């Protein structure tokens, strides 16, 4: 079986900015009839070269092999605002599949254009295989600035599996240092719950890498949660991991006193609920700090709380 290898990178698969800007200008000024789907000449053209066309959004289908599954609303709104003011500066990339176009790159731009209610978008139409389509989509995603570390790691992993690449080859294709690629891929050894914290930016890359010194998923999860709750530094996490490795059977001072603290807080919560006559919730954040949430269901009830607290 012939080994699959990655091509020469995104620049070799998509026309450079100068060339597609010129083609985009030409496409916009061309009468719509010249891009008729029934044109035999056109069919031959797009099989041999990349063309820029003004395409109906309703004729574009998303890429089923799109490696990116999540699109942040905030980043999308920024793109919507940019397109509203400046238009679509960079065309989408798609290939012809039957009477439709299948998106290769530019799903965020497509989503933003749909939100703006646009009917047409500039599209670079090129002939590509499924392998080339996946290659372009993966590399384009890796070159984005808003990828979270886990998304980036998953893209590296998929490139590695699909094209049998070494870490050095991955780094060259993505324009990154080999150590960066290696460290990203190591994040995927963490439990899914910890990876989720990294994706949600609750846990930094530095904290996550420190947790990798432990090989116990349960300890990694517990220390990740503790890091967030107590706002621990990377150095503190490193020390905690070292201590746990050196003394695996030793419980920390916090762990030893947790049950006593829970009993105290539970009793205090119940007493406060009785005195105020409403639901009270106590959420400990550290051994010394936490939050108290008091629920009220009317303004008169809220006023009653103030009166009780004053007295």
Known catalytic residues are 107
Burial class of residue 103 (count of CB atoms within 10 Å of its CB; 0-12, 13-18, 19+)? buried
For residue 126, count other CB atoms closer than 10 A to its CB. 23
* Distance separating the N- and C-terminal Cα atoms of the chain: 83
Instruction: Give φ, ψ of 55 to 5 degrees.
Output: -115, 140
**Of 57, 54, 35, the residue nearest 110 (C-alpha):** 57
**Residue 18 in tokens:** 């100068």
**Residue 171 in tokens:** 């780094």
């Amino acid at each position: 079986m012939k080994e699959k290898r990655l091509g020469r990178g995104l620049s070799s698969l998509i026309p450079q900015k100068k060339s597609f800007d010129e083609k985009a200008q030409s496409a916009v000024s061309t009468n719509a009839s010249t891009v008729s789907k029934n044109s035999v000449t056109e069919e031959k053209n797009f099989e041999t070269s990349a063309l820029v066309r003004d395409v109906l959004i309703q004729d574009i289908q998303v890429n089923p092999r799109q490696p990116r599954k999540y699109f942040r609303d905030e980043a999308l709104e920024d793109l919507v605002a940019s397109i509203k003011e400046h238009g679509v500066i960079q065309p989408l990339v798609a290939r012809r599949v039957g009477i439709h176009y299948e998106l290769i790159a530019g799903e965020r731009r497509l989503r933003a254009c749909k939100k703006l209610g646009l009917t047409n978008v500039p599209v670079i139409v090129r002939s590509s295989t499924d392998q080339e389509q996946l290659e372009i989509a993966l590399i384009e995603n890796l070159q984005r600035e808003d990828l979270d570390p886990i998304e980036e790691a998953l893209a590296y992993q998929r490139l590695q599996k699909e094209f049998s690449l070494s870490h050095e080859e991955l780094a060259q294709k993505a324009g990154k240092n080999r150590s960066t690629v290696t460290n990203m891929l190591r994040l995927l050894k963490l439990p899914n719950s910890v990876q989720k914290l990294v994706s949600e930016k609750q846990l930094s890359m530095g904290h996550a890498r420190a947790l990798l010194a432990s090989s116990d998923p349960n300890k990694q999860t517990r220390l990740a949660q503790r890091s967030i709750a107590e706002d621990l530094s990377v150095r503190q996490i490193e020390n905690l991991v070292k201590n746990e490795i050196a003394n695996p059977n030793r419980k920390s001072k916090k762990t030893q006193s947790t049950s006593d603290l829970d009993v105290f807080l539970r009793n205090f919560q119940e007493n406060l609920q009785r005195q105020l006559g409403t639901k009270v919730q106590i959420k400990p954040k550290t051994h010394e700090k936490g939050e108290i949430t008091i629920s009220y269901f009317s303004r008169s009830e809220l006023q009653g709380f103030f009166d009780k607290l004053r007295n």
